[in-house]
């Protein structure tokens, strides 16, 4: 009887230790899922930033139009610009557009991608294809590098100067962390600045000389 009692006690102690271990494992798994979600959000933000950067490079003559349409003071990401395609914004997917119209169309598409307005997946009335409360900004980040040759003494041929821009995508993370330093895109949209995440890309655009 005494040996059986000791065996039962050992089993109970083992179960208690096992339960605490499983609780710790469950917490670790939950933390891993949060980290995975944060990494997924960051990857989406980088992809969206790279998308508008490539559009700017392909429409370099109107690179300034992208910065004018998505300044830090009025970032895109609400879906309002996307809703104007075909109305206030010309649909360059169907029509031939000028460089200025192309810039407006590209920014509208970017706005739709940031807000998830253009995404088909809906859960409970909320579109789930976008990163959380995203903001997109394009800002000039430096003076023009180089100078266009003066006419009419300019040699024959086409010349370019380089203009630097910063493309930023901000969004809301799950857990508080340090507030982003020296990056104000999306500031004030999340209540707590420690929840704001941001990625930035430095973009060099070759602007053709007149």
Q: What integer is the mean pLDDT of 29-47? A: 81
Q: What is the mean pLDDT of the chain?
A: 82
Q: What integer is the mean pLDDT of 18-47? A: 78
pLDDT of 52: 96
pLDDT of 163: 86
pLDDT of 76: 93
Rounded to a whole number of angstroms, the CA Rg of the chain reads 26
pLDDT > 70? residue 24: yes
pTM (2 decimals)? 0.77
Q: What integer is the mean pLDDT of 38-61? A: 92
Flag whether 2 is in a domain.
no
Question: Long-range contact list for 110-113, CB < 8 A, 24+ apart?
Answer: 110/48, 110/51, 110/52, 110/55, 110/70, 110/76, 110/136, 111/76, 111/77, 111/78, 111/79, 111/80, 111/81, 111/82, 111/136, 112/79, 112/81, 112/82, 112/85, 113/48, 113/51
pLDDT of 125: 59
Domain hosting 81: range is 38-208
Flag whether 15 is in a domain.
no
More confident position, 7 or 56:
56
User: Which token pair is 48?
Assistant: 């969206």
Flag whether 14 is in a domain.
no
Flag whether 181 is in a domain.
yes
pLDDT of 1: 46
Flag whether 68 is in a domain.
yes
In 3D space, the residue among 99, 13, 87 whose CA is nearest the CA of residue 59 turns out to be 99
Reported as a single tens digit per residue, the pLDDT across 132-191 is 889 999 999 876 666 776 766 555 446 777 888 999 999 988 888 877 776 789 888 877
Flag whether 16 is in a domain.
no
Residue 197 CB: number of other CB atoms within 10 A?
A: 21
Domain total for the chain?
1
Flag whether 42 is in a domain.
yes
Confidence of residue 111 (pLDDT cuts 50, 70, 90): very high
Reported as a single tens digit per residue, the pLDDT across 6-20 is 577 777 787 888 887
More confident position, 25 or 137:
137
Q: Where are the beta strands (DSSP E) in the chain?
A: 122-123, 126-127, 135-140, 160-172, 196-208
Flag whether 85 is in a domain.
yes
**Residue linked to tokens 């959380």:** 132
């Amino acid at each position: 009887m005494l040996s059986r009692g000791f065996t039962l006690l050992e089993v109970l102690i083992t179960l208690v230790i096992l339960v605490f271990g499983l609780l710790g494992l469950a917490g670790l798994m939950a933390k891993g899922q949060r980290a995975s979600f944060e990494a997924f959000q960051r990857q989406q933000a980088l992809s969206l930033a790279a998308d508008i950067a490539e559009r700017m490079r392909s429409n370099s003559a109107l690179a300034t139009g992208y910065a004018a349409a998505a300044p830090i003071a009025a970032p895109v990401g609400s879906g309002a610009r996307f809703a104007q395609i075909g109305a206030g914004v010309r649909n360059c997917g169907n029509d031939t557009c000028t460089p200025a119209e192309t810039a407006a169309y590209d920014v509208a598409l970017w706005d739709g991608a940031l807000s998830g307005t253009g995404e088909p997946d809906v859960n409970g009335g909320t579109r789930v294809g976008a990163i959380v409360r995203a903001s997109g900004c394009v800002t000039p980040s430096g003076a023009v590098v180089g100078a266009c040759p003066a006419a009419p003494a300019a040699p024959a041929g086409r010349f370019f100067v380089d203009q630097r821009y910063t493309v930023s995508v901000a969004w809301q993370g799950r857990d508080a962390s340090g507030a982003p330093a020296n990056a104000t895109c999306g500031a004030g949209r999340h209540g707590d600045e420690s929840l704001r995440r941001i990625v930035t890309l430095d973009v060099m655009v070759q602007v053709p000389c007149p």
